[in-house]
Structure 1
Amino acid sequence: MDSKKRMSPPSATPPIRRRRFVVAVVALLAFIYFFGSPFRLPATLKDVSGISRAKIASLVKGSPAAANVDEIFGLLHLVTGDSEHEHILGHTEGFDPTKPVDLELYAAGTDNIDWNKRVVELNERYPLVVFSKSYCPYSKRAKALLATYELSPPPKIIEVDLRDDATQVKTVLTRLTHHSTFPNVIIRGKSVGGSDNLQALHADKSLRRKLEAAGLTIRGDIP
């Protein structure tokens, strides 16, 4: 018997794990070949350059908070924080205000918004928002009535007709609140209607209760 140890030839059969890996890779390549890649950017980010790492991370993780937030708060976030008067709803290609809008559009390029936290902030800082038209007599009447309440914080007035995206804002408001005329009075994300509705609430003494329940302080001499 030879004293030298003979080297046994490597096994011709690959290990089971390696075989499974190869099969999986082949199956994935076949799927991509026949059906196309499943890894595509969302429609809101197509044709957009300079996507940040934070944006990509948020897409991968998903946004469970945003899924539970009413779209009206996206609109309120946009119009109350539009200090630069960008009015992006009027300059967004392919934007259809008649259909539900992703909150990312209302974020106006701001990454990583905690929408649940933002809702709380909006309700505290702007519990009363009035979508108005500067020339509209009904809007003027509603604003005059609210002025007698001397509210704190004061109503946030959005003069829609002075915005470049007035048509888009009106369409979104109509879709979300089912109220198509101005003014449109929003208390903590809920529309209470227009001027006539406001006058009726004032007449039956329930407007005061609604405002106080929303966290507003009434300093006016209102019975």
Structure 2
Amino acid sequence: MERAPTPFRRRRILLVVVLLVGFIYFFGSPLQLPDALKDVSGSVSRANIAQLVKPQKAQKPVDEIYGLIHLVTGDNEQEHILGHTEGLDPTKPVDMGVYAAGTKLDWSKRVRELNDEYPLVVFSKTYCPYSKRAKALLATYDLSPPPKVIEVDLRDDAIQVKHLLTRLTNHGTFPNIIVRGKSLGGADQLQGLHSDKSLRRMLEAAGMTIRGDI
């Protein structure tokens, strides 16, 4: 007398059937899905499934210096967000949302815009002789686009900006000259690059046009 299939055997047979049907469906078969399932299957294809199982490349974090540049180049003199953010500790990493000041930003796109619009940013102090020297030297290059000069001492968040620059660029004095998110240092470093003729190449590589007779 033939014994009835055990529960385990039935599950194994069912699994084989499911795998076989799935294989036939995805790798070619004249079989058609029931109408009730066509709506669901319409959005599923081998390409879709390959995309779903493909490991997603991690998005590279945006350098925080671009958050600071975005903030200081976009706010008005009466809107110094950093000076009015409760609990802000500029000596530690700051959430990019603080720099966005409540707006939702595509930071990858914003970085490209900042590099195009402000490839050269000079954090300066109005009374600082080194800042004056650096600005005077850059003026002889007659750059397009021109340097974006941020006079930090005129801002009520000057202390926060200084601490941020120190942490983000390892340069804690003024001026602090930023080319495409990287600090060149101060007036002495700028003069050195000018003297050895490498400053021109660096500025042109950053997308600036030199119109001065240098």
Is 1:131 matched up with 2:123? Answer: yes
Counterpart in 2 of 1:206? 198
Partner of 1:221: 213
| 1:88 matches 2:89 | no
Cross-structure match for 2:139: 147
CA deviation after TM superposition for structure 1 residue 79, in Å? 0.3
Please say which structure displays the higher CA radius of gyration. 2
Q: 1:66–1:116: 8 Å Cα contact kept in structure 2?
A: no
Moved over 2 A (4+): 64-67
- 1:176 aligns to what? 168
CA distance in 2, matches of 1:69, 1:195: 27
Quick check: 2:77–2:155 contact (8 Å CA) kept in 1? Answer: no
Structure-2 separation of matches of 1:101 and 1:184 = 20
What residue is the counterpart of 1:44 in the other structure? none
* Matched residues, number: 158
Asked whether the equivalents of residues 65 and 115 of structure 1 are also in contact (C-alpha less than 8 Å), the reply is no
Structure 2: how far apart are the matches of 1:169 and 1:73?
Answer: 13
| Residues 66 and 103, structure 1, Cα contact 8 Å, conserved in 2 | no
What code does the residue aligned with 1:131 have?
Answer: F
Change (3 A) 1:110 1:179: same
Distance 2:128 2:155 in 1: 15
Q: CA RMSD in A?
A: 1.4
How do residues 1-223 of structure 1 correspond to structure 2 at under 5 angstroms? 68-83=61-76, 85-111=78-104, 113-222=105-214
Normalization by structure 2: what TM-score?
A: 0.72
Shift in CA distance, 199/104, structure 1 to aligned 2, threshold 3 Å: same
Structure 2's unaligned 5+ residue stretches are 1-56
Q: Percent identity?
A: 78
